[in-house]
Structures are given as C-alpha cells and as structure tokens.
C-alpha cells in the first residue's frame, strides 16, 4: 500500500467493553461493530487514562495523562496551546475532521460544584492562565440561526461539526440544525410531551423526537457527508466520529425504546457479591437505602435490580441505534472507494458500572466496568478476526496512529505505540496508570477524591489520597473484583511491590516538554 492510510475513528460515550456482541454480551446485538472486529483486531485489555469524559478525551488527543495535559477533571479545559496528534497529522498533509461530541471544553455555562460564577471570576490561581476568549463548546455560541463558525484549527481539527451534551437535547451545531429541521422543536424538547412509559429508573425518558432527528442520526449523516466529500481528494483524512450515546439519560428514540425488554437482562454482580465493600460503596448503599438521591445527574448511584434492568434495556436500545449508524457510515466508506486504504477504529471514552454491585454510571471507584473499554483496530494491511490481550491505554492511541501514518509523536507524548499488537505481536506495556480526580465532594469523601490505580495483567492496585484504606484485586483469581485484598497479610509483599511501581509512574508525571535549549 503506497498511499498514506486514512483513519476513521468511531468513539462512543460511557460504554463498557463487554457491551458489544463481539465482546460476548449475551443479549445486545451489534452486528455492524462486530463486523469491524471481524476484519481487525479486538483488544481485550484496553484501559482508559481516566474513567471520565473530558480528561480521557484530552489524553486521547495529547497522548498525555491528565496531570500533564491540564484537563484534570470534568469542567476544566484543554489549553488551546496543547499540541495534539491531530495537529501532527494536519501538519503532515492530512485533512482532519471532528464530527460529534468533542468535550475538550465545558459545554455548559454552569459554575462547578460548590462554587458560584462570581467566585470563579474572582478566583486567583498559581498560574497566569490564558483561557479561550470564547469557549467553542458553550451553549451561548449556538443560539443564533446562522451556523456558528468554530475557529479552526480546533485542537488540530480543520473541519468541526460540534455536538455537545447528552441525550435527546444535545447542543452545538446539532442544536442549530435541529431548530431548522423541526419547526416544532420547542414542543419536542418540552418534558410535558414525553411519550408514555412505565419505566421507573432515574433518567429514563421516552423522547418524542423521531429517530431521524436524534443526535445519533445527525452524527451518522454528517459523517457520511464528510466521507463523500473526500472521495476525489488526494490528501488522506483523519475523521473522529463521536456519538454522545449510550451515556445517560436513558432515552433511545422510536423503535429503539422497546427493542429490548428489562426481562432480557440480569444483575449478575449484585452488591452482596462483594466480600468487603469499601467505604464509598458502603456510603452509596446507605444513601440508596435512605433515599438520598444523586449529588448531580452525573454522580454514581445505587439502584434496585429492576431499575438496573430497565437502564440496561434502554442502554441496549441506544447501542442498537449506534450500531446501525456505524453500519451506515461503513457502507458510505465502502461506496466512496476508500475502505481499502482506511484504518477503522472503535473505542469508548470510559465505561459504566451498569449494575456491578448495584451501582450505576461512573465515579471514584475504578472497577473495570468503567476503566476497561472496547478498542478495535481494523487495518487493510492485516488479516482480521484476531484478539489481542496486550495491555494498552488511551494515552497510547496517539503514538499508535502516528506510527501507522509514518510520523513521530511530539516531545512530551507519554504514549507507547502498540502497532505491533494490531498485527499479532506483543504490546509494549506491562503496567498502565489510571488517574481520577473529582471536581467536588462525593460518595462520602470529605474532599474531592484523588485516586491513582496501577493495572497489570494480574493486579489492580488503587490508592486514595489521605485514606487509610485502598484496593488490591487479583484479576486472575478474581476477575470480577469481588474480594479486596488490601488488608490481607498474605499479600503484603504484592502491595509493597505495586506501591513502588506506582511511585515510579507518579515520578514520571514530570513534564519533559519543553526541552532545555541551553546548557545552564
């Protein structure tokens, strides 16, 4: 293959690895995504750099951990001065496009937890910060009828079709288009017009918005438009196609609402399955028993089995729509004549507890339901249908994509190319670091949680700042993470070894960029 490859990168929001047919889900059918896996390599041990949206998405683009790239927790912003692998591709002649959810900047105008906007305006910082004059993802930019022109390049993207937020009322360019496509858009967004249903799980909402006006359809159609526009172009492309689903609220439209039934699912890992629940798990349980509710709509919660099964059924409906959309985009790629020179990837930004220990959503507890995500690499240069057990991280994606394009990462990239693992070889990692930083006090923590985990092929070791407890799980003997060995005298030497290894990873969180340009 003489031409440089195109890249078509699909990514979903809040989808755990085992929620695909090709990853063994017993109920959910995803034939189109499975077909990509059948033509490529499916990774069984792929983990996020951080199990929440914004920090992990920034790690994907920069190849750096949140500690270094600066988008440490949801609500921060990736500095406009940050270099990205998309910048490198664009500089080498690639045409670059972001279609759908970006989430590198806040997409609300709301103050963070525990603060007011006046406090934010008056707050002094350790650094003289240079923030964007206008946030490109903020709702105020999309209130006019004329399409808002995002200043490009946007973190390296030359073409941007922005979708912000979640559910059936997304913002950005989608919202501008929606207002034009649906003259009755205000009625469609009015909660009073929710279609009748019998679901009781929190954030279950039966949207009156038809399928062809739902955000998944918009992302699908704009991706098809983009691929069609590149048919006769000489420059290779990188297209980042980002679906806001299956992130809650649980509101699949049209036929996807009742495509699956709660009775189809089971809660295979109830709270009682954990032998020694950690303090935050105990807090969540007590909060649920006392009817405490959520701190915010994004905060982890516990539900009863029936409500979890309802959430599973609706999540499956949202995933079915995404799978259909992926199939349509892949058909357009084939029709454009570009499939034979396009590397296709499928990924998610993080997972969801989705009933594990009766928990839902995501949070400070880094169980593999939220840290382990699907990753599929389908390359025309390699045979398909393979599975890799190589340990990989989101921070490795930029180095791998650039390696495949024949380009070198910029100085300061922390990722390691796993291109050889996509071809049946070994991966470069034996350990992966996972960071989590909260933006407020939740789950019983007296201050915002600061959590660091080290993953190996055998162990998950997790330390919580200023806590006298932690987590140690034997992933070989206890893959469902039901027995915390932190207090086990028989595993003290394992804790000591992993503590030392984690220390080395934390030492490595020193920024090597910029390089010195003089001898002192």
CA distance linking residue 223 with residue 240, whole number of Å: 9
CB within 8 Å of 335: residues ≥ 6 apart: none
Sign of CA dihedral 397, 402, 408, 409: negative
Q: What is the pLDDT, as a whole number, of residue 117? A: 58
Structure tokens, 170:
């997304």
Instruction: Name residues whose C-beta falls within 8 Å of residue 460's C-beta, 6 or more positions apart in sequence.
Output: 366, 368, 453, 454, 471, 472, 473, 475, 481
Which pLDDT score, from 0 to 100, does residue 491 have?
98
Give Cα separations from 244 to 12, 13, 203, 437 (angstroms): 6, 5, 15, 22
The alpha helices in 132-214, defined as continuous H runs, are 173-181, 185-188
3-state secondary structure of 392: strand
What DSSP string describes 6-49? EEEEEEESS--TTSSGGGT-SS---HHHHHHHHTSEEESSEE-S
Give pLDDT, residue 3.
Answer: 83
Neighbour count for residue 117 (Cβ, 10 Å): 11
Q: How high is the pLDDT of residue 184?
A: 97
pTM: 0.95
CB–CB of 414/513 below 8 Å?
no
Distance CA 160, CA 66 (A): 24
Helices (H), 252-396: 279-289, 305-335, 368-371
pLDDT in tens, 119-159: 555 567 777 766 665 788 889 999 999 999 999 999 999 99
| 503 burial via Cβ count (<10 Å: 0-12, 13-18, 19+) | exposed
Q: What is the reported pLDDT for 386?
A: 93
Sheet arrangement for strand 41-43: 171-172, 159-164, 95-101, 237-242, 6-12, 342-348, 375-378, 41-43, 386-388
Whole-number pLDDT of residue 120: 58
Q: What is the pLDDT of residues 161-201, one digit of tens each?
A: 999 999 999 999 999 999 999 999 999 999 999 999 999 99
Per-residue pLDDT tens digits of the chain, which is 520 residues long: 348 999 999 999 999 999 999 999 999 999 999 999 999 999 999 999 999 999 999 999 999 999 999 888 877 888 889 999 999 999 999 999 999 999 887 766 655 555 665 655 556 777 776 666 578 888 999 999 999 999 999 999 999 999 999 999 999 999 999 999 999 999 999 999 999 999 999 999 999 999 999 999 999 999 999 999 999 899 999 999 999 999 999 999 999 999 999 999 999 999 999 999 999 999 999 999 999 989 889 999 999 999 999 999 999 999 999 999 999 999 999 999 999 999 999 999 999 999 999 999 999 999 999 999 999 999 999 988 899 999 999 999 999 999 999 999 999 999 999 999 999 999 999 999 999 999 889 999 999 999 999 999 999 999 999 999 999 999 999 999 999 999 999 999 999 999 999 999 999 999 999 888 888 8
The per-residue DSSP string of 77-141 comes to ---TT---HHHHHHHTT-EEEEEEE--SS--S-PPPTT--HHHHHH---SS-----SS-TTSGGG
CATH class of 6-113+127-424: alpha beta
Do 136 and 151 contact (CB within 8 A), yes or no? yes
d(CA 276, CA 169): 40
Q: What pLDDT does residue 9 have?
A: 98
Provide the pLDDT for residue 114: 59
**Phi and psi torsions of 462, nearest 5°:** -130, 130
Domain ranges of the chain: 6-113+127-424
Determine how many CB atoms are found less than 10 A away from the CB of residue 210. Answer: 12
pLDDT tens-digit readout, 406-446: 999 999 999 999 999 999 999 999 999 999 999 889 999 99
């Amino acid at each position: 293959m003489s031409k440089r490859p195109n890249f078509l990168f699909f990514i979903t929001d809040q989808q755990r690895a085992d929620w695909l047919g090709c990853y063994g889900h017993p109920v959910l059918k995803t034939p189109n995504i499975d077909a990509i896996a059948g033509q490529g390599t499916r990774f069984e041990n792929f983990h996020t750099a951080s199990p929440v949206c914004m920090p992990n998405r920034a790690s994907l683009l920069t190849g750096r951990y949140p500690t270094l790239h600066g988008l440490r927790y949801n609500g921060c912003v990736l500095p406009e001065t940050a270099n990205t692998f998309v910048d490198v591709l664009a500089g080498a002649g690639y045409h670059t496009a972001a279609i759908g959810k970006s989430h590198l900047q806040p997409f609300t105008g709301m103050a963070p937890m525990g603060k007011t906007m006046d406090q934010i305006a008056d707050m002094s910082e350790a650094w003289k910060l240079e923030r964007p004059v206008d946030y490109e993802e903020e709702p105020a930019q999309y209130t006019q009828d004329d399409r808002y022109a995002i200043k490009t390049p946007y973190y390296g993207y030359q073409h941007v079709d922005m979708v912000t937020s979640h559910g059936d009322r997304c913002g950005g360019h989608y919202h501008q288009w929606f207002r034009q496509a649906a003259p009755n858009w205000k009625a469609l967004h009015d909660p009073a017009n929710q279609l009748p249903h019998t679901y009781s799980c929190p954030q279950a909402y039966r949207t009156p918005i038809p399928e062809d006006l739902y955000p998944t359809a918009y992302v699908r159609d704009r991706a098809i438009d983009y691929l069609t526009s590149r048919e006769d172009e000489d420059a290779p492309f990188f297209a980042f196609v980002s679906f806001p689903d299956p992130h809650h609220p649980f509101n699949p439209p049209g036929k996807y609402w009742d495509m699956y039934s709660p009775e189809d699912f089971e809660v295979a890992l109830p709270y009682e399955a954990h032998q020694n629940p950690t303090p935050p798990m105990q807090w969540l349980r007590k909060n649920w028993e006392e009817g405490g509710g959520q701190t915010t709509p994004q905060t982890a919660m516990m539900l009863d089995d029936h409500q979890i099964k309802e959430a599973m059924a609706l999540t499956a409906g949202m995933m079915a729509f995404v799978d259909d959309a992926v199939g349509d985009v892949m058909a357009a790629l084939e029709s454009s004549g570009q499939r034979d020179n396009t590397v296709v990837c499928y990924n998610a930004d993080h997972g969801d507890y989705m009933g594990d220990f009766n928990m839902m959503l995501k949070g400070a507890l880094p169980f593999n339901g939220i840290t382990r995500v699907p990753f599929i690499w389908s390359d025309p240069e390699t045979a398909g249908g393979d599975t890799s057990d190589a340990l990989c991280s989101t921070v490795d994606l930029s180095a791998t994509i650039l390696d495949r394009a024949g380009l070198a990462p910029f100085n300061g990239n922390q990722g390691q190319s796993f291109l050889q693992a996509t071809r049946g070889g070994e991966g470069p990692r034996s350990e992966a670091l996972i960071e989590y930083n909260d933006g407020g006090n939740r789950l019983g923590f007296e201050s915002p949680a600061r959590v660091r985990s080290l993953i190996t092929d055998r162990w998950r070791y997790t330390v919580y700042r200023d806590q006298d407890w932690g987590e140690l799980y034997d992933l070989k003997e206890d893959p469902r993470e039901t027995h915390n060995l932190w207090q086990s005298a028989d595993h003290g030497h394992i804790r000591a070894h992993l503590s030392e290894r984690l220390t080395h990873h934390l030492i490595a969180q020193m920024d090597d960029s910029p390089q010195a340009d003089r001898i002192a």
